[in-house]
Structure 1
């Protein structure tokens, strides 16, 4: 039986992997973890970055929170030389003064993926 304080949104392509996981603390609040890539693999790096951030916005929206609640972001790319382009897109997406702790690393990725972003967001206590 799955734990009642933990919910998951399975990845449609790989049901043993979650796209979103939410843990609710006893007494309220919690954490959300989400991962996204661009659905359109034909886009260039900047296009995939924007599409990935839009997918993360949707995960946040479904959880009832926004970018102000982000506490951590892990950015995985196929080419570290894209960091300046990423930073430019990120600066227009992230909330000034409320940006999460962020890492940016290069890795081998599945064919067509140029970027993957994993976020952690703090969920507020219910009102």
Structure 2
């Protein structure tokens, strides 16, 4: 049984792969001063890049947990999410309102995906 850790830092790894499953650490926006639409777009672009780095893709996402600073952003976040997900390959998903690690963050996602 092997465990592969990618982009390892003192606090966490960006991706951990075990039994053909990739576990991504929480991903946030590139520009924390942006609105919910751009924060969601850049957050999901980071998910794409991490998945690709371990031989996976958005079609292989098994589960996603989305954290929103306020549910007032739910519809705008979902507009981006709906255009990003691949038809017929929507993962299991939860979306909750949560206190964010930094006050300017509006959205964060945690993803689990198959790697093959």
TM-score (norm 2): 0.91
Aligned partners of 1:10 and 1:16 also within 8 Å: no
**What is the SS of the residue equivalent to 1:55?**
helix
Deviation at 1:8, TM superposition (A): 1.8
**What is the SS of the residue equivalent to 2:105?**
coil
Q: CA RMSD in A?
A: 1.4
Runs (4+) of structure 1 moved beyond 2 Å? Answer: 9-12
**What is the SS of the residue equivalent to 2:63?**
strand
> Unaligned 5+ residue runs, structure 1?
none
Q: Could you tell me which residue of structure 1 aligns to residue 75 of structure 2?
A: 84
Q: How does 1:1-127 map to 2 (within 5 A)?
A: 5-10=2-7, 12=9, 15-23=10-18, 25=19, 30-34=20-24, 35-109=26-100, 110-124=102-116
Q: When the two structures are aligned, how many residues end up with a matched partner? A: 114
Aligned partners of 1:78 and 1:108 also within 8 Å: yes
> Unaligned 5+ residue runs, structure 2?
none
TM-score (norm 1): 0.83
